[in-house]
Chain A
Amino acid sequence: MFEGKELTCIRGERLVFTGLNFAVGSGGALVLIGPNGAGKSSLLRMMAGLLKPASGKLLWNDALALDDIDEHAENLHYVGHHDAVKPVLSVLENVRFWAGVRGGDVSEKNILNALDVFDAKHLADVPGRFLSAGQKRRVNLARIIAAPAPLWLLDEPTTALDRASIALLDSAIRKHREGGGIVVLSTHADINIESATVLDISDFAQGRETKGAA
Chain B
Amino acid sequence: MADLHRFANPTRFLKLAAIIQPWALAVFLLSAAIGLYMAFFTAPADYQQGESARIMYVHVPAAWMAMFCYTVMAVASAVSLIWKHPLADVSARASAPVGAAFTFLALATGSLWGKPMWGTWWVWDARLTSVLVLLFLYIGYMALQGAFDDRVRAAKASAILALVGFVNVPIIKFSVDWWNTLHQPASVIKMGGSSIHPSMLWPLLIMAIAFKAYYVWVLLVRMRAELVANKVRILRLKQVHGG
Q: Which residues of A contact B (CB under 8 A)?
A: 8, 10, 12-15, 18, 37, 54-55, 206-208, 211
Chain B interface residue bracket vs A: 10 to 19
- When distances are taken between beta carbons in the complex, the residues of chain A under 8 Å from B7 are 10, 13, 54
Measured between alpha carbons, how far is A162 from B242 in the docked complex, in Å?
35
- When distances are taken between beta carbons in the complex, the residues of chain B under 8 Å from A55 are 2-4
Q: Which of B4, B230, B238 contacts A8 (CB 8 A)?
A: B4
Pairwise interchain contact B241-A13, C-beta atoms closer than 8 A: no
Q: Which of A8, A15, A54, A211 contacts B242 (CB 8 A)?
A: A211
Q: Which residues of B contact A (CB under 8 A)?
A: 1-4, 7, 150-153, 230, 233-234, 237-238, 241-243
Measured between alpha carbons, how far is A12 from B230 in the docked complex, in Å?
11
Pairwise interchain contact B241-A14, C-beta atoms closer than 8 A: yes
- SS class, residues of chain A in contact with chain B: mixed
Q: How far is the CB of B25 from chain A (nearest CB, A)?
A: 31
CB-nearest residue of chain A to B7: A10
- When distances are taken between beta carbons in the complex, the residues of chain A under 8 Å from B152 are 12-13
Given contacts A37-B241, A207-B241, A207-B243, contact A12 B3 (CB under 8 A): no
Pairwise interchain contact B237-A13, C-beta atoms closer than 8 A: yes
Q: How far is the CB of A202 from chain B (nearest CB, A)?
A: 11
Q: How far is the CB of B185 from chain A (nearest CB, A)?
A: 53
Q: How far is the CB of A35 from chain B (nearest CB, A)?
A: 10
Q: How far is the CB of B236 from chain A (nearest CB, A)?
A: 10
Pairwise interchain contact B3-A14, C-beta atoms closer than 8 A: no
